Structure 1
Amino acid sequence: MAYSILQKDFYRESGKYLSHFQMLIKCFSPNLHYIYWFRNAQKHPKSSLTGKIYRLILRHYQIKYGFQIYAETEIGEGFYLGHWGALVINPKAKIGKNCNIAQGVTIAQANRGKNEGVPVIGNEVWIGPNAVIVGNITIGNNVLIAPNAYVNTDVPDNSIALGNPAVITQKMNATEGYINNKV
């Protein structure tokens, strides 16, 4: 059976593929509620009437929940928001599949310097509370960004980034136990 990207996002929370009705019931959780409107806004062109309506609804929930994630942001399936509240992702950033992002995270553009641009984040990346990822950098696959880390350099696959500025340590099972119910 082919599952929608929205079903794959909700699977990350429960470990079960849900019907549309079951997903609506789960929308009492602010993080899943936001993902529901985010994915629906992504399905429709910005210029269409439906796209405009979905983006207006999404904007309402951006303000209500504190998630600043725009429909234009490329985020792979299995997206998981651990908690709700203050979260900023630049709309030009790219995020892979099975990624977890906690509260207080900023994924931002650098406007000058050698890393001018936005981050590209790989698959199976866990980003802890209040972490900052900034600039034209690449975060590899299977990477754990520790809480409060400041990352402004590339992070290779199978690594942990810890501290401010981040110190990178190789670890083969970096996200083991942190990313569950992968799709």
Structure 2
Amino acid sequence: MGYSIIQKDFYRESGKYLSHFQILKKCFSPNLHYIYLFRKTQKHYQKPIIGIFYKLVLRHYQIKYGFQIYPETQIGEGFYLGHWGQLVINPKTKIGKNCNIAQGVTIAQANRGKNEGVPVIGNEVWIGPNAVIVGNITIGNNVLIAPNAYVNMDVPDNSLAIGNPAVITPKANATDNYINNKI
């Protein structure tokens, strides 16, 4: 059976593939509710009437919950927001599958300098509270960005990024026990 991207996102929270009704029941949680609306808006983005409806609803909840994630942002399946509030992701950012993003994170564009542009983030990346990722950089697969880290350089696969400015340390199992219920 093929599962929808919404089911795959909600699988990360529960460890089970849920029916549409079960998913709606879990939407009392702001982070899950926002993911649901985000994916619905992405699905209907180009459609004239329903697309406008979902864009308006998503905008309302961006303001209400503090998530500044736009439907143009490319985010892979298994997306997980650990907590809600004050999250900013540049709409040109690309994020892989099975990624966790905590509260207070900023993923931003650099407007000048050698890293002018936006980040590309790989698969199975855990981004801790209040981390800042900025510029035309690549974050590899299986990377843990520690809380309060400032990352403005490439981070290779299988690494930890800790501190301000970030210090990169190789670690084979960087996200073990941080990213649960992988799809």
TM band (smaller chain):
over 0.9
- Give the TM-score of the pair, scaled to structure 2: 0.99
Give the TM-score of the pair, scaled to structure 1. 0.99
Cα deviation per residue 1:20-79 (whole Å; 9 max; x = unaligned)? 000000000000000000000000134521111101000000000000000000000000
The separation in 1 between residues aligned to 2:103 and 2:34, in whole angstroms, is 13
2:134 is aligned with what amino acid?
V
Aligned length in residues? 183
Please give the alpha-carbon distance, in whole angstroms, between the structure 2 residues aligned to 1:36 and 1:70.
13
1:11 matched residue in structure 2: 11
Q: Which residue of 2 aligns with 1:154?
A: 154
SS of the aligned residue for 1:63 comes to: helix
SS at match of 2:44: coil
- Let me know the Cα RMSD of the aligned residues: 0.6
In the alignment, the residues of structure 1 paired with residue 112 and residue 49 of structure 2 have an alpha-carbon distance, to the nearest angstrom, of: 37
Q: 5+ unaligned residues in a row in structure 2: which ranges?
A: none
SS at structure 2 position matched to 1:12:
helix
| Cα distance in 2 between the residues matched to 1:114 and 1:164 | 19
Whole-angstrom distance in 2 between the partners of 1:50 and 1:112:
38
Q: Distance in 2 between matches of 1:15 and 1:45?
A: 28
Q: State whether residues 66 and 86 of structure 2, in contact with CA within 8 Å, keep that contact through their aligned partners in structure 1.
A: yes
Whole-angstrom CA distance in 2 between matches of 1:46 and 1:107 = 25
Distance 2:103 2:124 in 1: 17
1:5 CA drift (Å): 0.3
Counterpart of 1:29? 29
Which stretches in structure 1 are left out of the alignment for 5+ residues? none
Post-superposition, which runs of at least 4 consecutive aligned residues in structure 1 deviate over 2 A? Answer: none
Q: Does 1:175 align with 2:182?
A: no
